[in-house]
Amino acid sequence: MKDRSLDAYKARIHQAVPIAGHLGLYAEYLGDGEATLIMPFGAHLSRPPQVVSGPALMGLADFAMGAAVHTCFEYDVTVLTADMNIHFVRKAVACDIRAFAKVLKSGKTLSVTEVKMVDAATGDLVAHATASFAVQPQNQS
């Protein structure tokens, strides 16, 4: 990823994948093979009674792991989810979620990742996911 600044990530991801904006996602940290993203709680992300929905958590997991993969490259790449497995550990009631993602193995065409999602206020584990991503170089102009 050429520009690892948090502002550059936000602009890029919200333009490339508009659902990131609907989820309210933003990056708190981007490092070598790591990313921390926040998903602020909102009624649009919940199901009764104010529990953060599984689809919202899966979206956060996908974005966080994808962001971690991007940090492994010095050039622009497209990362596409090849598979994902998620375990919901406990319900997240009306809380912001912090996702800590890291790359376990990165290759030229495939990266393997994991993410731990926690209640941002308490640090309690909410969900854990693993995924692999297909990596494709973007056309250089």
Sequence-separated (6 or more) residues with CB below 8 Å from residue 64: 35, 36, 37, 99, 100, 101, 115, 117
**Global pTM value:** 0.91
Residue 30 lies in a domain: yes
Residue 132 lies in a domain: yes
% of the chain beyond a pLDDT of 90: 71
Strands (E) across 71-109 are located at 77-88, 97-106
Residue 34 lies in a domain: yes
Distance CA 32, CA 17 (A): 22
Residue 78 lies in a domain: yes
As a whole number, mean pLDDT of residues 35-63 equals 95
Per-residue model confidence (pLDDT) at position 1? 45
**Residue range of the domain that includes 72:** 6-137
Q: Tell me how crowded residue 76 is: count the other CB atoms within 10 A of its CB.
A: 14
Per-residue model confidence (pLDDT) at position 5? 76
Least confident of 9-23, 33-47, 112-126: 9-23
Question: pLDDT band for position 130 (50/70/90)?
Answer: very high
